[in-house]
Amino acid sequence: MFATRKNLRPTRTGKRTAFTLIEIMIVVIILGILAAIVMPQFSDASHISREKVLKEDLRFLRSQVAVYAIQHQDRAPGYSAGVPSAAAFADQMTKFTDVNGNVGAAQDATYKFGPYLQKIPENPMTGKASVRMLADGAALPGVAAGTDGWIYQPSSQTVLSDADGTDTDGISYYKY
């Protein structure tokens, strides 16, 4: 494996042609130190990118809820027979709808609106795509529970992250 003095052949100039064990160990130690310096930067970068994805997903969800409301005579998505429902929200945002919010499987003259999303996005902080639907008149929670991906209040068309914790600037994910 490693060269020893016996099997080293001197070159024409009389120098060795292989590295010693000490030289290899020094190189490995230097590479380990460099890796230890660089690794925290990569872990911060992945956390920061998840924060940016969360902000972008919230912006997109909010804009699509607003587009739905505009196209459906100022009615927010998420109502089924007048009652807020997470299943109705998912259907109305991911399928074709008529002007009253009824869902259809295919686009036609009646079901001409949508879909607004391909699917409900996964919250990058919680890893969940579920929506906690708040009843009409229910107050927004004071803090995130971390049990769902998103919190939605149809009466105010408010979409919030249900991720507890704070970002690198100390801002709560719930306050995004």
pLDDT, one tens digit per residue, over 8-51 is 555 566 666 788 999 999 999 999 998 888 777 666 778 889 99
Q: What are residue 103's phi and psi, to 5 degrees?
A: -95, 140
- DSSP lists the bridge partners of residue 96 as 104
Q: Which amino acid is located at 15 in the chain? A: K
Q: pLDDT tens, 50-64?
A: 999 999 999 999 999
Strand 131-133 relative to strand 103-104: parallel, antiparallel, unpaired?
Answer: unpaired
| pTM for the full predicted model | 0.75
Cα dihedral: 82, 86, 88, 91 (round 10): 160
Question: Can you give the pLDDT at residue 9?
Answer: 56
Residue 12 pLDDT: 64
45 against 141, higher pLDDT:
141
Helix (H) or strand (E) holding 86: helix 86-94
**Torsion angle, CA of 100/104/109/115, rounded to 10 degrees?**
80
pLDDT for residue 141 is more than 80: yes
Residues forming a β-bridge with 131: 150
Percentage of the chain with pLDDT > 90? 75
Who's near 152: CB < 8 A, 6+ residues apart? Answer: 65, 78, 86, 89, 131, 132, 133, 134, 158, 159, 160
